[in-house]
Structure 1
Amino acid sequence: MTDAVPYHYALIGRALKIIDEAGPGLSLDDLAARLNMSPAHFQRTFSQWVGVSPKRYQQYLTLDLAKRLLAERFTTLDTALNTGLSGPGRLHDLFVTWEAMSPGDYARGGEGLTIFWGWFESPFGPALVMGTDRGICGIGFAAETGEEAALEDLVSRWPKARFVEDPMMLRPWVLAAFGAGPGQNADAPLYLIGAPFQIKVWEALLAIPSGHVTTYSEIAGAIGHPKAVRAVGTAVGRNPISLLIPCHRAIRRDGALGGYHWGLPVKRAILAWETAREDARPDMRTGT
């Protein structure tokens, strides 16, 4: 990555954590001081990368965001899946294409597969990214779990694979995944490694637009298993490619966030981030 990109990832990551922990009473001056920046410079940088000002982002975190999204931006997956929003092709803000490992290959636990991995800065803390020569197969966040636990978690998904630390091989896909600045899209191929039922669930997740949510029961109905809500919840939790396969957009019918494999603070930050950027989409240049 260029020097500027990881700097901004780390800066925004620290800012989001400070805002989340401090609550709505934190002023712009205080926030900028904690980051050793002038208020004006921090305001410009934050607004450029998040899409709204720090004050507006604080409002997203303090609102009951999940319930608001459930009421205002609920996605009916039957419609989305039937209109071609899933499957290979452009999805949301990224050029995301995906293919799935065959059930037979999956059953072998990754035997004969080489998986490259590396650590990267992200707006949501340290991110562990894994990928084969076909695309990204894993993204995990370590802000809540710790780096060692996150690495053990993803490695355990494919116990017979060969793992090679090589962040430079993954770098172009990571820049696409996290957005190397506003308006910069690139290819981010995904390689889905899972059981057939899991892949059906993850395909449904890919149909949920950024800034929207759906429910576990809606996913179950969309994949033709309306009574399998518990199994759907398990498959959502086992999604190895966080953020790009947006399991964070699945919530409970009562508006509760539900669980999140990498910690609820990370899920809440991602939802607030996405909603803020979606709301600001008509004019990403303003600081309001």
Structure 2
Amino acid sequence: MSTVIAQQQNYQRIAQAIRYLSAKQQKQPSLAELAAHVGVSEFHLQRIFTEWVGLSPKQFLQFLTKENAKRLLRSNSVMEAALACGLSGSSRLHDLMIKTERVTPGEYRRMGAGLQIRYGSCPSLFGYCFIAVNHRGLCKLAFFDDADDEASLLLELQQEWAAAELIRDDSRATALYEQVFGAVSKSPSSSQGLFQAPSHSVVVLLKGSEFQMQVWQALMAIPLGEVCSYQQLAESMGMPSSARAVASAIARNNIAYLIPCHRVIRGTGEFSEYRWGADRKRAMLLHEHSMGS
């Protein structure tokens, strides 16, 4: 079994554990109760959970509480510094040298006429990954769990690029996944899984209105493993009365993880829903939290 497939299976177990702990957090379930629910041994669950997120299940309960989320929301200095100066440090997501380009007005009008888009799916760290690319760059990245979800993502791609020629190419999708996320390895000094940055930049092709572009660029300034509210993001853009419009633009993001809409939560501290699943959102944040710690 390949490392990526094993990681994908571990994600499914961890997602199941996250759902259980989230529902039962008031009762503070023991590791034995959690392991019984997931269907693996306590030792195995403790190991894969800690390797994945850098936190034990008990620590996860503390991280997930509303009080902790509110504490993060009150700490604006990191967010302000990131927006003003950009990100730094070897563990920051955008050290992967992500470059963004926008669809030209002509390309927007033509809906992809004359373009050839290759798409496919592969196992990933966060379930299955759906990726599409054309000659300009990566134009869709999403996550899913079953065949029906994949069919819906393909329909979305067809609607987004109605006049383009779509070609299924799973090997190309796998190669792109590795280019985007790099290899997953073990740090010599740590038991947690770490991303190795690709050796060259990843070009992301964005298609949206001027306002949506501004929102997506603001998302990329949120530090790895941190969160902010919709209101805070609107304020950081100089548009404090536009929180609802910001939320709408976030919901239309077609590039999961790289344009990190998973880092935005409600002002109350709730993690809220996520286009690609609330459990997946929590898993991404926890994984990033461990990478930046």
TM class by shorter chain equals 0.7 to 0.9
Q: CA RMSD in A?
A: 3.2
Work out whether residues 9 and 122 of structure 1, in 8 Å CA contact, stay in contact via their aligned partners in 2.
yes
| Residue 243 of structure 2 is aligned to residue 229 of structure 1 | yes
| Residue 41 of structure 2 is aligned to residue 27 of structure 1 | no
Structure-2 change in CA distance of 1:158 and 1:132 (3 Å): same
Work out whether residues 118 and 129 of structure 1, in 8 Å CA contact, stay in contact via their aligned partners in 2.
yes
Alignment of 1:235-246 (within 5 A): 235-246=249-260
CA distance in 1, matches of 2:67, 2:204: 32
1:94 is matched with which residue? 96
| Residue 49 of structure 2 is aligned to residue 49 of structure 1 | no
CA distance in 2, matches of 1:236, 1:214: 13
Partner SS state of residue 134, structure 1: coil
Alignment of 1:201-280 (within 5 A): 201-278=215-292
Larger displacement relative to structure 2 (261-270 or 237-246)? 261-270
Structure-2 change in CA distance of 1:158 and 1:251 (3 Å): same
Deviations 1:72-91 (A, max 9, x none): 467545x53432449xxx85
Work out whether residues 121 and 127 of structure 1, in 8 Å CA contact, stay in contact via their aligned partners in 2.
yes
1:17 is matched with which residue? 16
Work out whether residues 116 and 131 of structure 1, in 8 Å CA contact, stay in contact via their aligned partners in 2.
yes
CA distance in 2, matches of 1:179, 1:59: 30
1:284 is matched with which residue? none
Which ranges of 4 or more aligned residues in structure 1 deviate by more than 6 Å?
none
Structure-2 change in CA distance of 1:93 and 1:85 (3 Å): closer
Q: Which amino acid aligns with 2:254?
A: P
Work out whether residues 135 and 189 of structure 1, in 8 Å CA contact, stay in contact via their aligned partners in 2.
yes
Question: Alignment identity in percent?
Answer: 37
Aligned mate of 2:120, from 118, 121, 126? 118
Work out whether residues 111 and 161 of structure 1, in 8 Å CA contact, stay in contact via their aligned partners in 2.
yes
- Which consecutive unaligned segments of at least 5 residues does structure 1 have? 282-288
Aligned mate of 1:200, from 183, 201, 214? 214
1:184 is matched with which residue? 196
When you count strand as a share of all residues, which structure comes out higher? 2
Using the TM superposition, give the Cα deviation of residue 208 of structure 1 relative to its aligned residue in structure 2, in angstroms.
0.7
Using the TM superposition, give the Cα deviation of residue 206 of structure 1 relative to its aligned residue in structure 2, in angstroms.
0.6
CA distance in 1, matches of 2:182, 2:33: 27
- Give TM-score, length-normalised by structure 1: 0.78
1:285 is matched with which residue? none
CA distance in 2, matches of 1:143, 1:74: 37
Using the TM superposition, give the Cα deviation of residue 191 of structure 1 relative to its aligned residue in structure 2, in angstroms.
1.8
Work out whether residues 28 and 54 of structure 1, in 8 Å CA contact, stay in contact via their aligned partners in 2.
no
2:175 is matched with which residue? 172
Work out whether residues 75 and 213 of structure 1, in 8 Å CA contact, stay in contact via their aligned partners in 2.
no
1:70 is matched with which residue? 73
CA distance in 1, matches of 2:60, 2:125: 13
CA distance in 1, matches of 2:130, 2:47: 28
| Residue 140 of structure 2 is aligned to residue 138 of structure 1 | yes
- Which consecutive unaligned segments of at least 5 residues does structure 2 have? 185-193
